[in-house]
Structure 1
Amino acid sequence: MQATDVAHVLAVVIEDAADLMRADAIGLLVRGQDDALEVLTATSHRAHELELLQAQQAAGPCVDCFDTAAQVVETTGPAIEARWPSVGPQIVAAGYTAVHTFPMCWQDQTLGAMNVFHSGALPEDIDLAVVGQAFADIATAVTVQGGQTQVDPFERVMAALAGRTLIEQAKGVLAYQEGIDMDQAYDRLRSMADDETSLSNVARRVIDRAVRSER
């Protein structure tokens, strides 16, 4: 698996996780350059913005989960706002009233956290603690290994972040060219990808076409 293809596989993993957990959105924060948390991927632009806000404010469910390497849960809007006053109101304003966050650990290192957002009560017929952690572990393995057995976890995370940057650039290009919002642009990229063409390769083609058209 190429480093940039990690972004494609992660997109599929978190979409599957959201479907199974009946979540409205999922976002991943990982430890990047200088130990700062960075957004790796998200199921929507709104979730991406909330993850970015947590990274900028150094506060929120993903930050707490990363710091403690333990799951974090809040099940009401007021509890979210009270626990994280610098980011909680924005999470609730985005329509989410419950969060369940899972650590992304590799061997003895915490690499990041997977934030699961719900707009209503958490489903009671699913063992979210088990299912969510399983998906977080899968996302961690995809990010770190990428088909390789001997890896430096930090180097793989940085490579995955590079793939995410490419996709964000392509989203911006499509949004501008087609007059659509960023969520629609991401859906458009996903629809252009298939089993033989990764999300990262599609993003690269979109950017290359835009560059050629400007010449």
Structure 2
Amino acid sequence: MADDAREARVLSAVVTLVDNLLQDFDVVELLTDLTEQCATLLDVSSAGLLLADARGGLHLMAATSDHTEEIELLQLQADEGPCLDCYASGRPVSIADLSAVSGRWPQFVPAARSAGFASVHAVPMTAAGSALGALNLFGTRSGSLNESDLLVARSLAHVASVAIVQGHPPTPETVLPRLKSALASHVVVEQAKGFLRERLDVTVTEAFALLRRYARENDTHASAVARRLMSEPASRPTIVDGIRRLTAAV
């Protein structure tokens, strides 16, 4: 019965992601949903996602916790870690016990262990051979990712990759503009998260959750709200007041 319930949740997650492809969707929100689904469905505690720009440089697009975001950013700054290796090779990387590979990534491993992570697994995001990024899964316990979880992670990552390509052949002419747009949206969302964190005295994770909730309740996308918040000073009081009311309602 437990297996049937899990299968139903997995299918529901896939259907939700696919449904997004059939309507006007926000890439930042889609990738955030992907990481949240992985953290819920798989035997991991959190997830993050890195997306590549036109020159192959990786950027953090989503993370389910502040600790995960910090570790993902450390990988980018140190230029080492399983997620970077996964993207470079185009193959999954699975580390069942981080303490056993401290020499492989001398900066990443101690930082990840200090943050409470004991294992990490990375799944490549690809479309017809083109590397788009990597989906990263962090565990607080040692252990390998079983075949079922790995398949679910790869399936969800593939759906997200298809969303970015949006049905077009993945050539530089079709993929790079979408990657550029997604990364630009993410920059604005990050600015809005920082603004709301300071204004409302909440964590970055809480700020993003409030931004998404406000967007949903106003039938728009989080990136659209973030853009208004950062580029339209006259709109800020209305948006901030609306988001503040959400914090009071919790």
Give TM class, smaller chain: 0.7 to 0.9
- Structure 2 unmatched runs, 5+: 1-22, 238-250
- TM-score, with structure 2 as normaliser: 0.75
Note the C-alpha offset of 1:149: 3.5
Secondary structure, in 3 states, of the residue corresponding to 2:151?
A: helix
- TM-score, with structure 1 as normaliser: 0.86
Question: Which residue pairs with 1:83 in the alignment?
Answer: 104
Identity %: 31
From 113, 133, 136, the counterpart of 2:154: 133
Deviates more, 1:65-74 or 1:76-85: 76-85
Contact map agreement 2:229 2:236 (CA 8 A) in 1: no
Secondary structure, in 3 states, of the residue corresponding to 2:216?
A: coil
Secondary structure, in 3 states, of the residue corresponding to 2:131?
A: strand
Note the C-alpha offset of 1:204: 2.5
Higher RCO, Cα 8 Å, sep 6+: 1
Secondary structure, in 3 states, of the residue corresponding to 1:83?
A: coil
Q: Does 1:46 align with 2:67?
A: yes
Question: Which residue pairs with 1:96 in the alignment?
Answer: 117
- Structure 1 Cα separation of the partners of residues 65 and 229 of structure 2: 19
Residues 179, 75 of structure 1: CA spacing in aligned structure 2 closer, same or farther, 3 A cutoff? Answer: same
Q: Does 1:183 align with 2:205?
A: yes
**Which structure has greater helix proportion?**
2
- Structure 2 Cα separation of the partners of residues 88 and 123 of structure 1: 17
From 64, 70, 73, the counterpart of 2:94: 73
From 178, 181, 187, the counterpart of 1:159: 181
- Structure 1 Cα separation of the partners of residues 146 and 78 of structure 2: 34
Deviates more, 1:190-199 or 1:23-32: 190-199
Question: Which residue pairs with 2:42 in the alignment?
Answer: 21
Q: Deviations over 1:139-188 (max 9, x none)?
A: 2122232xx54661122111111111111011001001011221221222
From 225, 234, 237, the counterpart of 1:202: 225
- Structure 1 unmatched runs, 5+: none
Note the C-alpha offset of 1:126: 6.5
Note the C-alpha offset of 1:134: 0.8
- Structure 2 Cα separation of the partners of residues 48 and 211 of structure 1: 31
Question: Which residue pairs with 2:7 in the alignment?
Answer: none
- Structure 2 Cα separation of the partners of residues 44 and 210 of structure 1: 29
Residues 144, 210 of structure 1: CA spacing in aligned structure 2 closer, same or farther, 3 A cutoff? Answer: same
Q: Which has the larger radius of gyration?
A: 2
Note the C-alpha offset of 1:191: 2.5
Q: Deviations over 1:64-112 (max 9, x none)?
A: 1011111101112302533311211111111111111001111121111
RMSD: 2.5
User: Moved runs in structure 1, 4+ residues, more than 6 A?
Assistant: 123-126
User: What is the letter of the counterpart of residue 211 of structure 2?
Assistant: L
Equivalenced residue count is 211
